[in-house]
Structure 1
Amino acid sequence: MASSLKALLIDDMAVERMVASAMLRKFHCEITMAKNGKEAVDMFLEGNEFDIVVVCDKDMPIMTGPEAVEKIRAMGATGVKIVGVSADDNAMEAFMSAGADDFVPKPVRPEILGPIIQDVINRKSN
């Protein structure tokens, strides 16, 4: 069996982290949590590698979701799948222009996030 995906989940709200991590767990992801974009960027700076990053908010304290995406990409993390998640109307554009691969509107629905995760699993096992 393929090793589990390493997922980084970023959200400043505990409830949102719980909801998203429950979905990731269904796909046997190994989950690391970050409360804001800066925490996430620091994890990459420390040399941690992830297969998928789920940024669950556009506006977070300290560093926004899109800012984090931009910084992670700037560090050369091009192989990691980054998914922006937000309820904001203009969030998709912000995430995509920052370098995210996908965007999922809130509330996150498994039928939308699921295939994205599955795609990463398929790419990893190939």
Structure 2
Amino acid sequence: MPSPRVAVIIEDDADIRSLISAVLQGSGFDVHTATGGIEGVEKVRAEHPVLTTLDVSMPGIDGFETARRIRAFSDTRIVMVTARADEEHARLGREAGADDYLTKPFRPRDLRARVDALLADRHDD
């Protein structure tokens, strides 16, 4: 069962990881970070987050494979955060298990709004 207000950020870029952490901590989340897909999968398994943000382009396994592995055991809400803005990547992300797709660069308020919408939607399930 996901833990309320726990988030895992899987992002290899330190600046973006720091920005997402600040946004989510400001929204009351207990934030855990990982710099790659394998580490991120293990953080999700250990922390049971209600929310996971996930970069698509990472060394090792990419965000699509990371999302598939997370979906095998977790119903955490997944927001893919990526520089790839085309529809094909958004479709691949959703097929891999992402709930939403946010392109870089993004405004912090856009991330907050999407997170709020996803978590409000969770309560409607």
Question: TM-score, length-normalised on structure 1?
Answer: 0.83
In the alignment, the residues of structure 2 paired with residue 6 and residue 82 of structure 1 have an alpha-carbon distance, to the nearest angstrom, of 13
Unaligned runs of 5+ in 2: none
Q: CA deviation at 1:108?
A: 2.1
Q: Which residue of 2 aligns with 1:38?
A: 38
My pick for the range that moved more, 115-124 or 104-113, is 115-124
Out of 60, 85, 95, which is 2:81 matched to?
Answer: 85
Q: Which residue of 2 aligns with 1:26?
A: 26
Q: Sequence identity, in percent?
A: 30
Q: Which residue of 2 aligns with 1:68?
A: 66
Residue identity in the other structure for 1:48:
E
Q: Which residue of 1 aligns with 2:50?
A: 51
SS in 2 for 1:5: strand
Q: CA deviation at 1:97?
A: 1.3
Q: Relative to structure 1, is the Cα distance of residues 34 and 8 closer, same or farther in structure 2, using a 3 angstrom cutoff?
A: same
Residue identity in the other structure for 2:14:
A
Question: Which is richer in strand?
Answer: 2
Deviations 1:75-98 (A, max 9, x none): 2x12x1100011113432221110
Cα pair 1:20 1:108 within 8 Å, conserved: no
Unaligned runs of 5+ in 1: none
Out of 114, 117, 121, which is 2:115 matched to?
Answer: 117
Residue identity in the other structure for 1:9:
I
Question: TM-score, length-normalised on structure 2?
Answer: 0.83
In the alignment, the residues of structure 2 paired with residue 95 and residue 52 of structure 1 have an alpha-carbon distance, to the nearest angstrom, of 16
Cα pair 1:4 1:30 within 8 Å, conserved: no
SS in 1 for 2:112: helix
